[in-house]
Chain A
Amino acid sequence: MTANVVLGLAVFVGTYVLIATERIHKTIAAMAGGVAMILLGIVSQEQAFEHIDFNVIFLLAGMMILAGIIRKTGVFGWMAVRAARLAGGDAYRVLVVMSVITALASALLDNVTTVVLVGPITLFLAARLGLNPMPLIIAEILASNIGGTATLIGDPPNILIASAANIDFATFFLNMAPLAAIVLVVFLVAARWLFRSQLVVDPEMRDALLALDERQMITDPKLLRSSLVVLGLTMLGFLLHGPLGYEPATVALAGAIALMIVAGESPQEVLREVEWPTLFFFIGLFMLIAGVIEIGMIEAIATTLTDVTGGALAGGSFVILWLSAVLSGVVDNIPYTATMLPVVEQMSEPHGGSQALWWALAAGADMGGNLTIIGASANVILASMSEREGHPIGFWTFMKYAGPVTLGSILISTAYIWLRYLL
């Protein structure tokens, strides 16, 4: 090994350890790793910057702007209260309704927005029904990662994958949404049994729920109407961006700018809603990965994986799926996916047009996030919210419910990928 390889590996492993142990903020860790690759001369600044995928950065930024404005309208609160009332105070039905809303929200919006939308209402409903919120919170965590699998914008790994593999929104949706839907339905059926002992409602408290007025949840009806129109057009734009020859980031930026014009909000106000640390986390990672590619590490991993599976597409897909699921449960799935993109790209080469490996990576990285309480950002924030409310969710308590669900969803994904792409 040359000195560059040793240095590059040390920077990469060091950055991963810092991200995993959270000794410093992951954004700082990723940026430090990326800059170190340049300072050590492993890559030039030019090479490092070339690796920053601005399609990913601007797609995320555009969606953050859209979500930041939309969540101010109260539309999801309205939806949730209305749905909970329709569920009529039956605990299992409330769980199903809230999980479906969470899955839909996380398919279209980022995780933080999803949690801000469904979290408080969940706590409120649980308090009103005299329920322990824990089963509802766990169900929502699981639903958010399952729902996020469905679309290109549902989970950051998907954005990375679609951008690297040149997959458009409609193609992504047609391939992954059916899988997400199947897994969600199976999970919701299983949830009745999984949480059976905890879904008991105090009958006296049930009536109080029906007295709620969901119209109060709408904070700005005018903004709501214009936001829904812009969001609808943006979704249409996503569905058509492939045939129209636009990149997804163009669609997201157009939607964000249109909503900023319609909403008439100051850019200072709107841009404050953008999660800048997340964007810089991605930038740092892209630079870090540039260094890792340069030292030949990616090629080594890809060659090893190809050797292990004998170069077969089926074997490769299943290894990627299960490896991704396990690793995403313990390490952040964003740096993991960013590292695996060039690996999967290389592994896909001999198999011509097959996208099986990409779908395996997406399903594994997204749904693997359900394995542990630290597997995805939605898990962490919903759990800390629950703790704040006086119902901490321990690592093993979460695992007890999430373990079987993750195992089940990866088994379903294995069957799905095999039946749809490999037979």
Chain B
Amino acid sequence: MELTPEAVTQATSIGEVDRLLLGTDPVLVSPADSLHRLAEMAVERPGCRVLSVVDDSGVLVGLVPVRLLVNDIFLKIVPEEFLGVINDMDDVMEYARHLRARTAGDIMLPPQSVRRDATVRDAFETMHHARLNGLPIVDEGGRVVSYLDQLELLLVWVRASGREPLLRPTSDADEE
């Protein structure tokens, strides 16, 4: 029985995706790293859109999406943009928390990750629920070994559905 591109996409293992596709290295930071340091590391490796916060033994303890980092830094650069849209108590408390933030540990989100033996479906589910553009891939001990971007999930589908020519820079492929 031939599988549909959707079924192939769902069932593909992360190990396969990680080996075959963009191969972006994870950006590892420690909870004590300053936001300034995080910004430097983020721009050095623009392909990685979610930074992994790890402890001394490399175990994942939190995530800092680049979006969150940019928000936090711009909170200090153009505060008007944020002050103007604070409408309820939750916003106020969130604003207070971010105003104090100085390090990765201050702003990081709870850790989310996938293992190599998980499927693309699992990875999508985790990214979708946690609203992340990427996820660290961890080993059995919870240590970060690689990084999986949302775009890579899309790439699996592109390949499975035979739309690969779209990806070749020289090909002048049609929209469909």
A residues contacting B by CB (< 8 A) are 71-72, 74, 77, 81, 112, 115-116, 119-121, 123-124, 127-128, 212-214, 216-219, 273, 381, 384-386, 388-390
Q: Contact check, A124 vs B89: say whether CB atoms are below 8 A apart.
A: no
Which residues from B are CB-within-8-Å of A273?
88
Which residues from B are CB-within-8-Å of A77?
83-84, 86
8 new A-B pairs (CB below 8 Å) besides A123-B99, A389-B100?
A: A116-B92, A119-B92, A120-B92, A127-B76, A218-B84, A273-B88, A384-B93, A388-B100
Q: Which of B83, B85, B87, B97 contacts A121 (CB 8 A)?
A: B83
- In the complex, how many angstroms separate the beta carbon of A106 from the nearest chain B beta carbon? 16
Instruction: Give 6 closest A-B pairs by Cβ, nearest first.
Output: A216-B80, A388-B96, A389-B96, A390-B100, A217-B84, A74-B84
Q: Residue among B85, B87, B96, B97 with the most chain A CB within 10 A?
A: B96
| Residues 74-122 of B at the A interface (beta carbon under 8 Å) | 76, 78-81, 83-89, 91-93, 95-97, 99-100
- In the complex, how many angstroms separate the beta carbon of A217 from the nearest chain B beta carbon? 5
- In the complex, how many angstroms separate the beta carbon of B153 from the nearest chain A beta carbon? 34
Which residues from A are CB-within-8-Å of B84?
74, 77, 216-219
Which residues from A are CB-within-8-Å of B89?
112, 115-116, 381
Q: Contact check, A124 vs B87: say whether CB atoms are below 8 A apart.
A: no
Q: Which of B79, B81, B99 contacts A389 (CB 8 A)?
A: B99
A294 to B99, alpha carbons, bound, how many Å?
52
Could you list 17 examples of A-B contacts with CB < 8 Å? Answer: A77-B83, A77-B84, A115-B89, A115-B92, A116-B91, A119-B92, A124-B99, A127-B76, A212-B80, A216-B78, A216-B84, A218-B84, A219-B84, A273-B88, A381-B92, A388-B96, A389-B96
Which residues from A are CB-within-8-Å of B93?
384-385, 388
Q: Which of B83, B91, B95, B99 contacts A217 (CB 8 A)?
A: B83
A363 to B56, alpha carbons, bound, how many Å?
58
Q: Contact check, A219 vs B85: say whether CB atoms are below 8 A apart.
A: yes
- In the complex, how many angstroms separate the beta carbon of B43 from the nearest chain A beta carbon? 24
A273 to B91, alpha carbons, bound, how many Å?
14
Q: Contact check, A212 vs B85: say whether CB atoms are below 8 A apart.
A: no
Q: Which residue of A lies closest to B81 (CB)?
A: A216
Q: Contact check, B83 vs A116: say whether CB atoms are below 8 A apart.
A: no
- In the complex, how many angstroms separate the beta carbon of A59 from the nearest chain B beta carbon? 22
Number of residues in B with C-beta < 8 Å to the partner? 20
Which residues from A are CB-within-8-Å of B78?
216
Q: Contact check, B87 vs A71: say whether CB atoms are below 8 A apart.
A: yes
Which residues from B are CB-within-8-Å of A71?
87
Given contacts A124-B79, A213-B80, contact A116 B95 (CB under 8 A): no
A323 to B88, alpha carbons, bound, how many Å?
34
A386 to B97, alpha carbons, bound, how many Å?
9
Which residues from B are CB-within-8-Å of A388?
93, 96-97, 100
A341 to B21, alpha carbons, bound, how many Å?
73
Q: Contact check, A116 vs B87: say whether CB atoms are below 8 A apart.
A: yes
A216 to B74, alpha carbons, bound, how many Å?
14
Q: Which residue of A lies closest to B86 (CB)?
A: A120
Which residues from A are CB-within-8-Å of B97?
388-389
Q: Contact check, B80 vs A217: say whether CB atoms are below 8 A apart.
A: yes
Which residues from A are CB-within-8-Å of B79?
124, 128, 212
A386 to B92, alpha carbons, bound, how many Å?
10
Q: Which residue of A lies closest to B85 (CB)?
A: A219
Which residues from A are CB-within-8-Å of B80?
81, 212-214, 216-217
- In the complex, how many angstroms separate the beta carbon of B85 from the nearest chain A beta carbon? 6
Given contacts A212-B80, A216-B81, A388-B93, contact A116 B99 (CB under 8 A): no
Q: Which residue of B lies closest to A115 (CB)?
A: B92
Given contacts A385-B93, A388-B96, A388-B100, contact A124 B88 (CB under 8 A): no
A112 to B78, alpha carbons, bound, how many Å?
25
A48 to B76, alpha carbons, bound, how many Å?
53
Q: Which residue of B lies closest to A382 (CB)?
A: B92
Which residues from B are CB-within-8-Å of A112?
89
Q: Which residue of B lies closest to A217 (CB)?
A: B84
Which residues from A are CB-within-8-Å of B86?
77, 116, 120
Q: Which residue of B lies closest to A127 (CB)?
A: B99
A72 to B91, alpha carbons, bound, how many Å?
12
A214 to B99, alpha carbons, bound, how many Å?
19
Q: Residue among B79, B84, B100 with the most chain A CB within 10 A?
A: B84
Q: Which residue of B lies closest to A390 (CB)?
A: B100
- In the complex, how many angstroms separate the beta carbon of A74 from the nearest chain B beta carbon? 5
A411 to B79, alpha carbons, bound, how many Å?
42
A217 to B96, alpha carbons, bound, how many Å?
18
A331 to B85, alpha carbons, bound, how many Å?
34
Q: Contact check, B83 vs A120: say whether CB atoms are below 8 A apart.
A: yes
A216 to B84, alpha carbons, bound, how many Å?
7
Q: Contact check, A385 vs B96: say whether CB atoms are below 8 A apart.
A: yes
- In the complex, how many angstroms separate the beta carbon of A3 from the nearest chain B beta carbon? 44
Which residues from A are CB-within-8-Å of B76?
127
